[in-house]
Chains A and B, each alone.
Chain A
Amino acid sequence: MSELKSGSNLEKVLKAGHFAFTGECGPPKGANVKHLKEKFKYLKGNVDCVNLTDNQTAVVRMSSLAASALMVTEGLEPNFQMVCRDRNRLAMMSDILGAHALGIRNMLCLSGDHQSFGNHPQAKNVHDIDSMQLIALVKKMRDEGKFMNGDDIDVPPELFVGAACNPFADPYEYRVYRLANKITAGADFIQTQCIFNMEKFRDFMKKVVDMGLHERCYILAGVTPMKNAGMANFMKKFVPGMDIPDALIARLKGVEKKDQAEEGIKFALEQVAEFKEMEGVAGVHMMAIEWEHMVPEIAERAGVLPRPVV
C-alpha cells in the first residue's frame, strides 16, 4: 500500500498510519447551494473527507457528483457515493470520468436502497451491475486504464475506491466473506454501516483480523450519534439492516429527554475511543445525520483534532 493510487487526502492520511475520521453530508432536496455550503463549514478541518450521499434512501436530492464538485471548490475533500440503482454501466463510467475531471479523488460503491423506500417508488430501477462489480469497474478503469469493453481510456480516473460493509445484516456468518470479496474486487477502504451493537462488531472484527482482511484494506467503523431515544426506536423498527440493542435504547431513555442528545454523543465518543484501540480498525466514519453542526464538537471531544495534514 505504498504507492498512491489516487492522491486523495483520505488515502494519504490512511497510508501515513493516522486514525482516519470521515464525515457525511446529504445534498439538499433542491438546488440550494448556500445551505449545502453552510453544512460544509461544520465539516471543514474536522474530518479527512466527507461522503456525499447519492439519493440516499431513494429520495431525490441534488446529485452526489455535483455536490462533490461543489465541495472540491470549497476546499474540502469529498467521498463521492455512487449507487447501482440509478445508473447503468455507461452512466457509471462516464460519471467516474467526470468525477476525476472535477477533482474528486474518493468514491464509495454501493448497491443503493431500493426505490420503494423513497419518494418515487414507482420508478424503474437499473441494477445493470452490482456493487461488487462497480468496485471492480472503477479499479479496472484506474489500474488498467480501460473501459469495461476493453477500450483504452486516454486519461484514466484516479480514485481511492471505497465500499460499504454491514456486519449487522444477515446471514451474519457470510458477512465477513462478502467483505473479503469486496476487497478482492478492489476496495481500498471500507466504511461500515452504523455500529450500535458493539459486542457483535467486536466479534466481526476478530473474524476480519483472523482472515487478515485489515492488512489488505482500511476499515473505517461507522458511528452515528443518537439524537434521542425516539430516533433509536425508529431506526430499530424501520431502517433495514440496523442492529440497535435494547440496552442502548434503555440507556437513552434512562436520562431526561433534554439530556438524551448528550447521552447519545457520549455513547458515540465511547465507541470512537474503543475503535482507536481495536485491532483492524483504521478510522471512524462519523455519520451525524442532519446533525452536521455537531461534528466540530464531536470531533473535538473524540480527540481526533487537529486532523493530520499530509
Chain B
Amino acid sequence: MIVADRKSLEEILGMVADNKKILILGCKGCVTVCNVGGLKEVEILTSSLKIARKKAGNPIDIDIQVLERQCDTEYVAELGEAVNDYDSVISMACGVGPQFLSEMYKTQTFYPAVNTTFFGGATQHGVWEERCAGCGTCGIHMFGGLCPIARCAKSLLHGPCGGSSKGICEVNADTECIWDSIVKKKMEAGQLADLMGVRGLKDWTTARDGGPRRSIREELVQGNI
C-alpha cells in the first residue's frame, strides 16, 4: 500500500489559519490501512484543530467526510458543489487525493494533511517499511525475492557495498542491508552464480526518470470487459 505520515498540527494549523469553516476529507484506501487518514484519524485531527483554535480564541467550524477513495473520479465527484461551502478543504489521503480533488474542483483549495512516503507494508503493528520503488521494471525474482532498487540505499545491483556491516546498512543503524540478506539467501540455496556477471544498465525510462507515467489498459478504456 501507499504509506504516509501525518504532518504536524502546527503545519496544518498554519495552512488553515485564515479559515473559519473547513472540510476534512479522509480516504478509505491505503491511508485508512496505515492508520493515517481514515475516519479515526480524521476525527482526531478535527478535535485537535478545534482545541487549538478555541485556545487561540478563534474557533473553527469543521465538517468531516471520508471518501471511499480519493484516487477515483467517481468517488471524488460525490462531493459535488457542496465542497465550495468551505473556506478550504484538508485531504488526509496520499498525494493523489489533493490532486484529484484540485483537478475536479478548480476554485477550491485543498491542503495535504499527510506526507506521502513510500510503497510498503506493516512489518508489525505500527511499523511500516518500504518494499517497492515503483521503478516500472520489476526484477525482484532475480534477487531472491528482495528488491535492491527500493531497499538498498544506493540501489546497487551487484552485491553489498563496502559499508555493509553485520547485516546493517551504513546509512542507518535501523536499516537492514538488503544485500546481506540477498547474498546469504542465494549462497545458502547454492545459487550464488545468479549474482555473478554484470547486468545490463537498468532502463530507467519506466521509472519517474522517463517523465510522469501513465498506464493505459485498452480493453478497459473501450469498456467491453
Contact = CB atoms under 8 A, between A and B. Distances in A.
Nearest to B167: A170
A130 B180 contact: no
A132 B180 contact: no
A256 to B, nearest CB: 32
Contact of A184 (B196, B201, B202, B204): B196
B210 interface: no
B196 A116 contact: no
Report whether over half of chain B's contact residues are helix, strand or loop; otherwise say mixed: loop
Nearest to A149: B201
Given A177-B196, A184-B196, A169 B163 contact: yes
B198 A132 contact: yes
B165 interface: yes
A232 to B, nearest CB: 17
B165 A170 contact: yes
Contacts, number: 107
A127 interface: yes
A171 B204 contact: no
Contacts of A133: 157-158, 198-199, 201
B29 interface: no
Interface string B115-146: 00000000000000000000000000000000
B198 A111 contact: no
Interface in A182-233: 184-185, 193
Contact of B158 (A170, A181, A240): A181
B158 A169 contact: no
B202 A166 contact: no
Category for how many chain A residues contact B: 35 or more
B184 interface: yes
Contacts of B197: 181, 184
A116 to B, nearest CB: 5
B161 A169 contact: yes
A261 to B, nearest CB: 26
Given A114-B153, A133-B201, A174 B163 contact: no
B171 interface: yes
Contacts of B204: 128
A124 B204 CA distance: 16
Nearest to B149: A127
A241 B170 contact: yes
B163 A240 contact: yes
A178 interface: yes
B160 A171 contact: yes
A85 interface: yes
B59 interface: no
B201 A111 contact: no
Contact of A241 (B156, B165, B171, B202): B165
B211 to A, nearest CB: 15
Contacts of A112: 154
B192 interface: yes
B162 A164 contact: yes
A161 interface: no
Contacts of A84: 154
Contacts of B170: 113-114, 117, 240-241
Contact of A113 (B159, B163, B172, B198): B163
Contacts of A180: 196
Interface string A104-124: 000000011110110000000
Contact of B171 (A116, A128, A166): A116
Contact of B201 (A129, A174, A178): A129
* Residue from the set B157, B201, B202 with the largest chain A CB neighbour count within 10 Å: B201
30 contacts: A84-B154, A113-B163, A114-B163, A114-B171, A116-B172, A125-B154, A127-B156, A128-B202, A131-B158, A131-B161, A132-B159, A135-B198, A169-B160, A169-B161, A169-B162, A169-B165, A170-B160, A170-B164, A170-B167, A170-B177, A171-B183, A174-B160, A177-B196, A178-B159, A181-B158, A185-B198, A240-B162, A240-B163, A241-B162, A241-B163
The 10 closest A-B pairs by CB, nearest first: A166-B162, A240-B170, A132-B158, A240-B163, A241-B162, A130-B156, A174-B183, A169-B162, A136-B198, A127-B155
